[in-house]
Structure 1
Amino acid sequence: MPRTAAEKRAAFRALHASGCFMLPNPWDAGSARYLASLGFEAIATTSSGFAWSTAHADNRVPRDAVLNHLRMMVDSCDLPVNADFENGFGDDPAGVAQSVKLAVGTGVAGLSIEDSTGDAANPLFPVDVAVARLEAARQAIDETGGDTLLIGRAENFFAGKPDLDDAIARLTAYAQAGADCLYAPGIQSREQIEAVVAAVAPKPVNVLVGSASAMTLSDFAALGVRRVSVGGGLARAAWGGFMRAAQSLAEGRFDGFADAASGAQLNAIFTDR
């Protein structure tokens, strides 16, 4: 029998209590189902991966489409789903709260709120504004689904403001504002990771690995990281294979199919759906 939303959320919270787990990011129902077949314990959506699948750039998909996507991902398999909910889809804290309530209603087990504005001239919300938005998200979750995990994201390294001290100050403020897990995508060195983990302890930290890395999950666990996600990495890997195969067709060749999965393998994965 499929697990309820409450059961998925409880399982997701338990994963954050100790150890370190991999949180891969599928972009559609099929990729989610395949990851579930490999034994992963939870998955997370990727705003970029989903956007590209709809012929949009990242952060250019309207809220209703994102909410529909979250419902589809939650229904795609029996794993807890963490939502990449961008900056909360609200012009102000009240708007963020409304959007978060809608996201909780899709059945997600967790959701992240970024402090990015989408404005290249001023890419990050002032800390007090970002905190107010996160507090609104916290209250919305408490009112509609208190067991949904809230992740606070400091976007410094993605927004062209790679100031570790500022990122840590932001994450500390987000932890105090009610975030259950903290995340500064773009930090890479062991020293950066250790500094973030120490600053927000005992709350768990997510680290992004979106490209080839010599570090393993065990290495991140040794640094005190609680979960490792890959953002749009899997989607980009899939797009890379598709683009190489398509380019070979454009040149009159078929060698791009050399590493293609077999139809029988794919049918076996999805036979019970």
Structure 2
Amino acid sequence: MNPLRELPKPLVLPNAWDPPSAAAIQAAGAKAIATTSGGVAWSRGVPDAGGLTRTVALEALRRIVRAVTVPVTADIEGGYGDTPEEVAWTVAEVASIGALGVNIEDSAGGQLLDVSAQADRLAAARQAGDLVINARTDTFLMGSGDIDETLARAERYAAAGADGLFVPGVVDPAVIKVLVDGPLPLNVMAHPGAPSVAELAALGVARISVGTGIAQAAYGVAAAAAREVLTVGTYESMSDGLSYGELNDLVGRAAG
């Protein structure tokens, strides 16, 4: 049995992008870690949503999996391939690395994919390994934001073997409640201003992740600290950082 399926619900998944962030998230008490394609892409100097290649994404995942002892679920964007066979190959590689889950999204180039084509891609992923498949639909990010369309896609994705539905862009409790009652357990991507973990749990949300949020916060601190040093000449923006020894020890354990 895949251990990721056995963790208590809601499963709260802070998103990491490199070994130090993954090690820090585990040290904070996370029972599992999700990766973020955006954070991985930015850390390698390329934009999200098309900047990563399969090779680079898998190597980043390999380093993150080695850095922690908790289960890891991987953001593999659209599967790094157009065909079901290519998606299945990516998923098989993810499984061989040791990750226990994947997100697979149903958009490309800013457009939603045909639902039947996406169902075929998910079915191929299901055959490629015993991973938890979180089927991401971008109906609210890039589509109409129509609840009926979202639920229709959820039905097709459930039939194809998906374990859960991920709907970025949805934080309205009324919409969440409708989707929670749909055919698949719901993953919500939370951000400042979204309902709290306790509120999402009360609504019946099964998974809570934060996408690129932690990476954005980290880079925000870098920008704020640099501005402070370069303008007023003080250093207070750095005061909440991990100590040198703590971070060095985290990275050392992750590398060891």
Same fold (TM > 0.5): yes
Q: Percent identity?
A: 38
Give the AA of the match of 1:117.
A
Query: Which residue of structure 1 lines up, in the alignment, with residue 220 of structure 2?
Result: 240
Aligned to 2:123: 135
> Which residue of the partner structure matches residue 240 of structure 2?
259
Alignment correspondent of 1:179: 162
**Conserved in 2, the CA contact under 8 Å of 1:20 and 1:228?**
yes
1:106-142 Cα distance to aligned partner (Å, 9 max, x none): 1111011100112x3xx0111111111111111222x
What displacement does 1:234 show?
Answer: 0.4
In 2, Cα distance between the equivalents of 1:51 and 1:62? 9
8 Å Cα contact 1:21-1:217 kept in structure 2: no
CA deviation profile, 1:233-272 (whole Å, cap 9, x unmatched): 0000001100111223343623343433322332354454
8 Å CA contact retained: 1:96, 1:137? yes
1:41 paired with 2:22, answer no
Greater alpha carbon shift after TM alignment, 231-240 vs 215-224:
215-224
| Matches of 2:147 and 2:44, distance apart in 1 | 34
Q: How many residues align?
A: 252
Does the residue aligned with 1:199 lie in a helix, a strand or coil?
A: coil
Q: Look up the equivalent residue of 1:11 and give its one-letter code.
A: P
Counterpart of 1:206 in 2: which secondary structure?
Answer: strand
Check conservation: 1:153, 1:171, Cα contact below 8 A.
no
Following TM superposition, where does structure 1 have runs of at least 4 consecutive aligned residues deviating by more than 6 angstroms? none
Q: Deviations over 1:165-203 (max 9, x none)?
A: 212211121011100111111111111111111011xx4
State the alpha-carbon separation in 1 of the partners of residues 198 and 75 from structure 2.
25
> Corresponding residue for 2:140?
157
8 Å contact from structure 2 (residues 189, 209) kept in 1: yes
CA distance in 1, matches of 2:75, 2:194: 26
CA distance in 1, matches of 2:92, 2:252: 34
State the distance in 2 between where 1:267 and 1:205 align. 37
The alpha-carbon deviation at position 157 of structure 1 amounts to 1.8
Query: Which AA in structure 2 matches 1:94?
Result: E
- Give the secondary structure class of the aligned counterpart of 1:105: helix
- In the TM superposition, 1:84-95 aligns within 5 A as 84-95=75-86
Equivalent position to 2:42, from 27, 36, 52: 52
**What RMSD over aligned residues (CA atoms) do the two structures have, in Å?**
1.8
Unpaired runs of at least 5, structure 1: 1-8
Deviates more, 1:88-97 or 1:76-85: 88-97
The aligned counterpart of 1:13 is: 5
